[in-house]
Structure 1
Amino acid sequence: MASGIVNIRRDVDDKFYRYRMPLLTTKIEGKGNGIKTVIPNMADVARALSRPAPYPTKFFGCELGAQTTFDEKNERFIVNGAHDANRLRELLDVFIDKFVLCRSCKNPETELIIIKQGRNEDIIRDCKACGERTGVDMRHKLVPFILKNPPVKMKKGKKKDVSGAADGVGGAANASPEDGAEENDGNESDDYLTKKIKAEAAELNDKPTLTDEDWSADTSPEAVKARIKALEGSMAATVLGGDDDGSDDDANSPYSVLGRWIDEEKDDVEDPKAFSIAIFKKAEELGIGKKHKTITVIAQALFTDDMVNEINQYGALLQKMVTSEKHQKALLGGIERHVGLAHAELIPAVPKILMALYQIDVLEEEVVTQWGTHVSKKYTDKETSKKVRKASEPFLKWLAEADDDDEEEDDDE
């Protein structure tokens, strides 16, 4: 797990858990009676939780018996007094349990809704994962604050500008998530990056290959017995439904087993081709060789901060396992998690990463264009999704220009 990123449910010890947030940080300012605890990244934490930042800040005040102040415009959130960071993180876990997690399925993908019943008002957690609506403890001191400051209802159905100006998708690779609604004035930078992409594309033309014999499974009695055992162990996760059946928070799911195995083995790899074959056979043994979610786990666990070069090294594995549009989308989701959550320093390299995948015929133009122009919170929080997809703009521009060139050549003929 990357430094500074933790699971929203910190009782889930699984680095492939879908729901992540920044680790809460604190800064003590002032002296004497004027001492206070500033929470510099409260806005980022709150965005990951899909809650207004004043809510957890005020919750801290309620629990600690301290006054709180917040300036949302400047993202400055303060709890009076000197408070240890670990103590506030523990309280944040309590806030998440009481006001974020679905009481039924313990999924954090909920929305707070205020329901009026005569003169009374109730606060409900509406879960987008399981569909259940569960109440909060209306006796808590935070409840009156929420009722006086109700959450803003998210507008749905608003048509998004394909260029991304309306929702933060597109723009320069180093743009911040907050400037997504502003006009992009970085055209020169984009043109420069596009030229670099064209120049570097030639370096990625060697497509990795392995023979069918390389991929064939070991048919010895011992290997067959091991595969049967692995299949029995993963039956609950693979037979009861598809790839998305709640295995994100199951540390014993075949996906988590595969991810941990890759993570443990990759540091000792001397031959990427041999390791590619080993990964393929391991996935087959776990009964998830053809599942599209397996590609998400591989993308998240296999690559490091040298991802651009590693894509070519493991290209044969990707070519073997990415066999449908769903697999391509799962691969892009794994890249979102790897780049957005674990290796933020790779965000400017997203165009190169996409180009490397495109050059080995793993990504199709329509799929990556659709992905790059539509923000989603399926694999990460929405803000992280915006950052990663925004960084893809130079590559999408290159694709569009390449199409225009092709059309002009057809017209000339």
Structure 2
Amino acid sequence: MAPGFVNIRRDVDDKFYRYRMPLLLTKIEGKGNGIKTVIPNMADVARALSRPPTYPTKFFGCELGAQTSFDEKVDRYIVNGAHDATRLRELLDTFIDKFVLCGSCKNPETELILTKTEEIIRDCKACGQRTSVDMRHKLTTFILRNPPKKVKTKKGSESNAPEVASPGNGGAEGEEGGGAESDDELTKRIKSEAAELSVKPAIGEDGWSVDTSPEAVKARVKTLETSMQASLVLNGDDDSDEDSNSPYGQIGIWAVEKRADINSVDVFKKAQELGIEKKHRTVQTLVQTLFTEDIVTEIPKFAPVFTKMMTSEKHQKALLGGIERFVGVEHLELLSSVPKILMEFYQADILQEDVIKQWGTHVSKKYVDKETCKKVRKASEPFLKWLDEADDDDEDDDEE
């Protein structure tokens, strides 16, 4: 084997194994809180795997709980923190197993295909099998928003090139680009599932059927209406009544009742039914009603619908306002979890860094009273500090 190269499957000892890649290299830069790990040959490694270099870099960040940054123009890929080469090579093996190797024959000659139902498939050119990746992994959200570009080969056919999708093609900035409705996978899934809707019996937490008699339903709805009226903040900048009969009150009550049995598609369809799927206030309402005290672990479940609805900075601010209400008014015991909550939304590319920073440095009485606002922002300081340190580190690199 050529010096500096290893088998893509490092568990294969066969020296005649033809699938090879450069040995992953690392370089530690900076010091203190600004220390970072640069991967100088990530582009070469990714090219051997036929994947965009941002994919394994982002995978490292997901697995290590670290922020990542990329500069494709100069092939610079960074994972914040000090990480030795051995650890990153082990993680690269995991990435290869999950997102490169065929699930059937374990051959690396695969392309990633994004289906209409928002699944990511490994299409194997060796055995012809198509196997799905584990959609529970956080990297899948990044891949769905940054699909590998299709490029023309010499014979005119299309293949997945190891390049990063531009913002106009679902890029990292989270903008709806390209203008092609054919790429709107969530909408397609909603339409395809609309004809297959079935009514499921309500099941209680103890496994027994919930009482669905008219009296019981009326009593539950009344309780929910009271809760909604007390918790939802409905500013007067929309054409709706400020009560449980408004579209926001309706979707809020529905979310509280159904959240254990619904997914992102169900939520978006309900918003469409009420005609509020594009409204920023819908985002605020859903943050307050879809989640429980286990919000940190629940965010990945509903991340796709927030990604779909997050079409402007105003929507992001409404989401942050919903978090203020959720934590500062309804779940004060979660104040210490604010950094984790923000991190989950940030890692899912739902909240952008500049919006979070602006929110964190400006006290507002729009969603909660001034004192509550200060409490929530005070609780968010560890996350805001983490963002600032990452930026300072990037500036140090630019000066070198």
TM-score under structure 2 normalisation? 0.44
